[in-house]
Amino acid sequence: MMMATIEMLEIIVFGKGYGESILIHINSKWIVVDSFIEPKSRIPIALKYLFDEGYGVEDIVGIICTHWDNDHVLGISQIIEQHSNGLTVCLPIVYNDKRFTEYVSFNADRIIGTTSEFMKVLRLIKKKKVNRLYALSERHLFQKEIGDLEVCLKALSPNDNQYTEFLDSITLPQKGQSKHMPFEENKISVVTYIKTSVDSILLGGDMENSLNGWDSICDIFNDSKCHVFKVPHHGSQNGYNKKVWERMLDKPISIITRFNPQNLPTDEMVAKIAKESSAVYIVGTRPTKDRNTINRVKRYGDYGMIKSMLILDSDYGYVKLSKKTSDEQWEINTFGAVEVLN
């Protein structure tokens, strides 16, 4: 069956050096994928962009929270809180499991950073009675919210093995013990596939390169190859999988967001990705002597020692890709801290 023609397909990828967010625009529908706080306005970067373009928070029909890492989740609670009606929030299905909710709830009020923001998200979802949508491999997302357009927007993860492996890694602390977090690997980050009459897009989340990670996603993928790729894991080695490039991509426009705490992406990985891409865009400020990652260690009661990171870079950038028909090339615009490799 032929896919219906759509009026506009856009993807906007924001990066800050510590923070990643994506806006998907299909005609008049906006979907937010992850979030960080815009430095000057102190509001979620997606909202800042939409306000500047003349849109409002009600124009957002859905949010995808790919995983709960601090550089991906900050600001999601603000969007949910400001939205008045009809918002759908998509989370990895594992976040609905009792073991996980017990884990993140343990001492949650005494914790800063990832857990406090994520707990706000969970509480607001319940309080405001927003529509909950749980991502699972091959599950279609936002069909009702997007409307009657024949658009394929689906999750490629987590699958059953990723789900089980993640839950098996959770250990609830006993009395007097500390809770170790976050998890060392992103076993359940949501990978999103978008297929329209215009083109196909792959959003890699922060999925790991492992047997139950990208390998398992590639093994079941049987769809159109993508020409736009949001590179997983900030272009790190453990996010790169050769099968992805062979089976799921066709000389894509590749977009990488910087992660300065680990100096990602490395020059080696950028060169590797560039060889298999038609163009590469690296979004976010580079770390400099004046913009460093500072590690602070503080003690919070009986909870134990927590290392918190303060990222001093305050600038950001974004790359916007727009397309109306399958015959035309992507129109690409950049703003702020974006490095371009053709």
Question: pTM for the whole thing?
Answer: 0.89
pLDDT reported for residue 315: 84
Instruction: Please check whether residue 1 lies inside any domain of the structure.
Output: no
State how far the Cα of 165 lies from the Cα of 206, in Å rounded to an integer: 16
Average pLDDT score over residue span 57-85: 93
Instruction: Please check whether residue 80 lies inside any domain of the structure.
Output: yes
> Percentage of the chain surpassing pLDDT 90?
60
Res. 293: pLDDT tops 60: no
Instruction: Please check whether residue 3 lies inside any domain of the structure.
Output: no
CATH number at residue 269: 3.60.15.10
Closest CA to 162 of 103, 209, 121: 209
Domain count, the chain: 1
Average pLDDT score over residue span 19-42: 94
Average per-residue pLDDT in the chain?
A: 85
pLDDT reported for residue 77: 95
pLDDT reported for residue 267: 95
**Which residue type, as a one-letter code, is found at position 311?**
I
- The more confident residue out of 129 and 130 is 130
Residue 191, CA distances (Å) to 16, 90, 208 in order: 21, 12, 11
Mention every residue, 6+ apart, whose C-beta is less than 8 A from residue 134: 90, 91, 92, 93, 95, 96
Instruction: Please check whether residue 4 lies inside any domain of the structure.
Output: no
Instruction: Please check whether residue 243 lies inside any domain of the structure.
Output: yes
Q: Concatenate the DSSP letters of all residues of 22-47 into one string.
A: EEEEETTEEEEES--B-TTT-SBHHH
Domain assignment of residue 85, given as a range: 9-341
Res. 193: pLDDT tops 70: yes
Instruction: Please check whether residue 324 lies inside any domain of the structure.
Output: yes
Res. 251: pLDDT tops 50: yes
Instruction: Please check whether residue 307 lies inside any domain of the structure.
Output: yes
Res. 175: pLDDT tops 90: no
Give me the residues paired with residue 133 across strands.
90
Of the candidate ranges 23-37, 140-154, 314-328, the one whose mean pLDDT is the lowest: 140-154
Instruction: Please check whether residue 305 lies inside any domain of the structure.
Output: yes
